[in-house]
Amino acid sequence: LQKSLNETFGADKYSEARKEVLTNMFSRPMQMALYFCTGILEDETLFRHYALNVPFYTHFTSPIRRYADIIVHRLLSASLGASSPIKMKKETIQKQADHCNDRKMASKRVQELSADLFFAVFVRVRT
C-alpha cells in the first residue's frame, strides 16, 4: 500500500498530506487487536497472530502504560514461576479484558473523529 501511494503522488507541496490522509483512510478498516483471556476461548486458532503468522501470541508493553499490560505481565510472571499465581478467576480476567477493549475502542473513535474534524477544517480553509 505504501509503495503504491508513493508511486501515485508526485512531489508537489500537498503530496505528503494526500498520502497521509489516504493511508489513514485505508488503515481504518483493519481489524483492531482485542484482549481476551485464553482460558475462556476453546478454539486455539484464535490465539494466532495473522500478520506475524505465529500460532500463539501475546502482546504487551511497559506495565506503566495500560492496565491490560499489568495483567499480562503478572500472568506471564506467574506462568514462568517468577511470582505466585494471581488470584483472579478467568471470568474476571475476561471481564477486565472486555473493559480494556471497550476503552480502547472508545479512544480510537475519539481519535478518528478528531482527525475527521481537523481534515474538514483543513479542506474548508484551503478551498
Q: Are residues 17 and 67 in the same domain?
A: no
Distance CA 99, CA 68 (A): 10
Q: What pLDDT, on the 0 to 100 scale, is given for residue 28? A: 61
Distance CA 85, CA 17 (A): 50
Residue 25 cell numbers, joined: 483512510
- If one counts the domains in the chain, the total is 2
Q: Are residues 22 and 83 in the same domain?
A: no
Q: Are residues 61 and 4 in the same domain?
A: no
Q: Are residues 23 and 60 in the same domain?
A: no
Q: Are residues 104 and 60 in the same domain?
A: yes
**What string of pLDDT tens digits covers the 127 residues of the chain?**
567 766 777 677 777 777 777 777 766 656 677 888 888 888 887 787 777 788 888 877 777 778 888 888 888 899 999 999 888 899 999 999 999 999 989 998 999 899 889 888 988 887 7
What pTM was estimated for this model as a whole?
Answer: 0.64
Distance CA 68, CA 76 (A): 12
Range of the domain at 69: 36-126
Residue bearing cell 499480562 = 72
Q: Are residues 102 and 83 in the same domain?
A: yes
Give residue-wise pLDDT tens across range 92-117: 999 999 999 999 899 989 998 998 89
Q: What pLDDT, on the 0 to 100 scale, is given for residue 27? A: 65
